[in-house]
Amino acid sequence: MLFRSKLDNLVGIVDRNRIQATGPTKDIFDIPEIETKWKAFGWNVLTIDGHDVKAILGALDMAETMKGKPTVIVADTVKGKGVSFAENTAAFHNGIMSKEQYEQALSEIETARAAAV
């Protein structure tokens, strides 16, 4: 067995949003089949919608039941989700919002939150 200590209490989360500071990861540093790579290292792999709180909690519960190896959760997300001007935009990976953008972002997030209740 790869993990002598089993490490079944170890859980990692990979945020797969497919964007880095200078553009799409597929164009810069593509890591295809990330699940296959983690499995090859002996990890239990779960893939979820990283924006779905129930899916996140469910994956953490499933990880807790895994015995004999660590678990990695690959969370598919959208960079800047819910903020119209920042969604899927590499410029906001490490960029700074103007005061107007900040206020717009807060408004859009609050509107989405209110609609979800």
Check residue 95 and give its pLDDT: 81
- Residue 8 in 3-state DSSP? coil
**CA pair distance 62, 104, nearest whole angstrom:** 37
Sheet holding 71-76, edge to edge: 11-16, 71-76, 44-49
Instruction: Give the pLDDT band of residue 82 (cuts 50, 70, 90).
Output: very high
**CA pair distance 95, 97, nearest whole angstrom:** 7
In this prediction, residues 94-112 reach a mean pLDDT of 94
* Positive/negative CA dihedral, 17, 35, 6, 61: positive
In this prediction, residues 20-27 reach a mean pLDDT of 86
Check residue 4 and give its pLDDT: 62
Whether the per-residue pLDDT at 94 is higher than 90: the answer is: no
Tell me the pLDDT of the chain averaged across its residues. 91
Instruction: Give the pLDDT band of residue 22 (cuts 50, 70, 90).
Output: confident
Q: Provide the whole-model pTM.
A: 0.85
Detail the DSSP E strand segments found in 1-117: 11-16, 19-20, 23-24, 44-49, 71-76
Whether the per-residue pLDDT at 40 is higher than 70: the answer is: yes
Check residue 32 and give its pLDDT: 84
**CA pair distance 40, 64, nearest whole angstrom:** 21
